[in-house]
Amino acid sequence: MQKPLTPQEYGELTKKASPGSPFLKNLALAYLSGGALCCLGQALLGLYLSLGLPQAQARGFVSVTLIGLSATLTALGVYDKLARHCGAGTLVPITGFANAVVSPAIEFKSEKLVTGTCAKLFAIAGPVIAIGTAASVVYGLVLWVFSLV
């Protein structure tokens, strides 16, 4: 019978078997792709402002456009290919969140509308929404308490 590996031996074996990560390349791609998404958002804001929308409404339209674009690209299978090449830059909060909501819904569409798509729609994003809501309530209570002082 073979002697079990120690944690140190196991660590050495995994280092030998695991490929190295191109850190600088990944960093550059994330920076460039995230920056490109932000530039797209800024260009959309400029477009909506030039069409005469008030600033607050134009910002809302930018958010809706980026969410819709991200959801559409996810549904078409394009967003995942972009993410594979661009890396973490595609996780810019609004587009990454839209992708996280749409992906499970598309994956489980074969299980029909209610039991598949609707049930899995918030599988990944649900906990994020719950924690975000709870954190905003706590933050609001803290601000309210300090406003009384």
Average pLDDT over residues 78-88: 89
Q: Picking from 45-59, 96-110, 135-149, which range would have the lowest pLDDT averaged per residue?
A: 96-110
- Residue 5, pLDDT > 90, answer no
Residue labelled with tokens 């079990």: 4
Q: Record the pTM.
A: 0.69
- Residue 132, pLDDT > 90, answer no
Average pLDDT over residues 91-95: 85
Q: Which residues, including other chains, have CB under 8 Å from residue 82's CB and lie 6 or more apart? A: 33, 73, 90
- Residue 40, pLDDT > 90, answer yes
Cα dihedral: 95, 117, 81, 26 (round 10): 50
Give the total residue count for the chain. Answer: 149
Residue labelled with tokens 């598949």: 116
Residue 110's alpha-carbon distances to 67, 72, 78, 101, 106, in angstroms, are: 24, 18, 20, 17, 8
